[in-house]
Structure 1
Amino acid sequence: MNATATPARRDRALWIQCACTALVALGAAYAFYRHGREFALRFGADEATAAIWPLIVDGLLTTATVELWKTGHGSRAGGRWAAWLSSVFGICLSLCANVAAASELSVFAVAVAACPPLALLLAVELLNRALKRHRAETTTETAIETSETGETGDETASVVRLAVVSEESRSPTEPTAEQRMWAYYVTERSKGRSPSGAELDRIAGTNNYGRRVLRRWRAAGHETLRMTTA
C-alpha cells in the first residue's frame, strides 16, 4: 500500500504546484497587461501598439517557459541558453513596465510593482525543477521494475537449465530396457536355461520387444554370447 501511495501523493503535489503556478501566471499577466499598456503609451506607442505590446512580451515569456520545461536529456545547450535569455529579457521588460507604473518611487511601491514578474519567474523555476525531479523518479522506478523482471526471468531460466541438466545427468545411470533384458538373460544363462522373449518383456516392462532383441542377439552371434556367459 505504501508503494502505491507514494507515487499518488507525488503526482497530487505536482498537480497542486502546477495549479498554483497557473494562478501566479494569470495574476502576473493581468498586472503586466495594465502596466505594460500604460508603459508603452507613456514612452511613445500609439493606442494599437500599446494594446498588443504586453501580449508580445507575454508570448515571449510563454515560449521561453515551454522551452525550459522540456527535458534536458536530448536538448542542446544552445537551445536552453536562448530560452533563458528570452525569459530574462521578458522578465526585465515586465519589471520595467511594472516599476514605471508605481505611484511613487518608494521601497514598498517598487516592491509591490515588481512582485508579479518576480513571483512568476520564481514559480516557473520551481515548477521546472519539480517536473525534472518527477521525470527522474519515474525513470528510476521504471528501471527498477525492469531490472526486477529481468532477474526473475534469469532465475526461471536457471531453474529450467538446472532441471534439464539434472535429467540428462540421471539418464545414463538408468539402464535401458535392453540392458535390463541382457542382465536377466546372463543370469538365467548362468542357471542353464535360456529365457524367452515374453520373459524379457516382463522384466523390462515392454511389449513384443524381447523377441526382436533375441533375434538381434542371435544374428549378432548368439552362440558366442552363450559361450561367453556359460
Structure 2
Amino acid sequence: MSATATPRRDRALWVQCACTALVALGAAYASYRHGREFALRFGADKATAAIWPLIVDGILTTATVELWKTSHGRRAGGRWAAWLSFVFGIVLSLCANVAAAPELSVFAVAVAACPPLALLLAVELLNRALKRHRAETANETSTEPTETGETGDETGSVVRLAVVPDEARPSAEPTAEQRMWAYYVTERAKGRTPTGAELDRIAGTNNYGRRLLRRWRHQGRIIDSGRAERRLPELASAAGVSP
C-alpha cells in the first residue's frame, strides 16, 4: 500500500467515528425524551422516569465500548455478551421510542424507531471499519521487516578478502595413487615387488592396489625386471624418493 493511501484511510476512519458520535448524541437525546415519557406512561414516578433513559443509554454506551475493545483484539470471547447487552438496550430504546409515537401509523413509527436503529447500524459499520483498519495495519507491520532486511543486505559492509601468497598456502595432500606409486618405486629400489594388498595397506584402501597394478602394467609404467632395474633412478626421481 502506498504512503498516500494510509492518510486517506485514517481520515476516512476519523470521519466515520465523528458521524457515529453525532448519531449517538442524536439517538441519546431522542431516546431520553421518549424513554422518560414511556416510563411515566407505564407507572414510574418522576424521579424514576428521569433515571430510566439514563439506564438504557448507559447499557448501550457500555456495550458499544466493549464492542470496540473486542474489535481491537481484546477478549474475543466476551463479544457475545457485549452484543447481547447492546441488542437489549436497543430493544428497550426501540420500545420506548415506538410507544412515544403520537399515532400508530407507518410514518410515525418510522420516525420514532429511527434513532435506536440508526445507532445500531452506525455502531456495526464503525465496528467493521475498525476491524478492517486493524487488519491492514497488521499487514503493513508484517511487511516492514522484510523490506528493511532487503535494504540492510544491499547497504551492508563490503567484505574484503586478503590475498594469501602461494608459499603460505598448505600443500595438497598426495592422493592414494600417488602414495601407492611412491611406495612401489621405493620397494622396487630395494629389490622387491609389492603386492596389491601392500599398496592397499599403505593407502588405506580396499582392493584398489590390484586395479592400480593392472592399470600401470597396461600403461607401461610397470615393466619387466631387467628394464625396471635400469629405470629405477628415473622412477625414483619421478616419485620424489631416493633410490
State the TM bucket, normalised to the shorter chain. Answer: 0.5 to 0.7
In the alignment, which residue of structure 2 is the partner of 1:90? 89
Query: Cα distance 1:126–1:56, how it changes in 2: closer, same or farther (>3 A)?
Result: same
Give the whole-Å Cα distance in 2 for the aligned partners of 1:175 and 1:109: 104
Instruction: Number of aligned residue pairs: give it.
Output: 167
Task: Report the CA distance between 1:173 and its aligned residue.
Answer: 3.8
Give the whole-Å Cα distance in 1 for the aligned partners of 2:33 and 2:18: 23
Structure 2 SS opposite 1:91: helix
In the alignment, which residue of structure 2 is the partner of 1:43? 42
Cα pair 2:70 2:76 within 8 Å, conserved: no
In the alignment, which residue of structure 1 is the partner of 2:75? 75
Structure 1 SS opposite 2:44: coil
**AA in 1 matched with 2:53:** P
Structure 2 SS opposite 1:4: coil
Task: Report the CA distance between 1:156 and its aligned residue.
Answer: 5.0
Extract structure 1 runs of 4+ deviating beyond 4 A. 154-157
Give the whole-Å Cα distance in 2 for the aligned partners of 1:80 and 1:71: 6
Equivalent in 155, 158, 164 of residue 172 of structure 1? 164
Task: Report the CA distance between 1:3 and its aligned residue.
Answer: 2.5
5 Å matches for 1:1-230? Answer: 3-72=2-71, 73-77=73-77, 79-155=78-154, 160=158, 163-164=159-160, 167-168=161-162, 171-173=163-165
Task: Report the CA distance between 1:172 and its aligned residue.
Answer: 2.4
Give the whole-Å Cα distance in 2 for the aligned partners of 1:142 and 1:76: 22
Cα pair 1:99 1:113 within 8 Å, conserved: yes
Q: Give the number of the structure whose residues are more often helix, by fraction.
A: 1
Give unpaired runs (5+ residues) of structure 2.
169-243
The one-character-per-residue Cα deviations of 1:182-221 (angstroms, maximum 9, x if unpaired) are xxxxxxxxxxxxxxxxxxxxxxxxxxxxxxxxxxxxxxxx
**AA in 2 matched with 1:139:** A
Cα pair 2:97 2:113 within 8 Å, conserved: yes
Structure 1 SS opposite 2:2: helix
- TM-score normalized by the length of structure 1: 0.67
Task: Report the CA distance between 1:153 and its aligned residue.
Answer: 2.9
- TM-score normalized by the length of structure 2: 0.64
Query: Cα distance 1:17–1:76, how it changes in 2: closer, same or farther (>3 A)?
Result: closer
Give the whole-Å Cα distance in 2 for the aligned partners of 1:174 and 1:40: 102
Task: Report the CA distance between 1:174 and its aligned residue.
Answer: 5.8
Task: Report the CA distance between 1:147 and its aligned residue.
Answer: 1.7
Give the whole-Å Cα distance in 1 for the aligned partners of 2:76 and 2:120: 22
Query: Cα distance 1:94–1:67, how it changes in 2: closer, same or farther (>3 A)?
Result: same
Task: Report the CA distance between 1:146 and its aligned residue.
Answer: 1.9
The structure number with the bigger radius of gyration is 2
Task: Report the CA distance between 1:142 and its aligned residue.
Answer: 1.6
Query: Cα distance 1:101–1:20, how it changes in 2: closer, same or farther (>3 A)?
Result: same
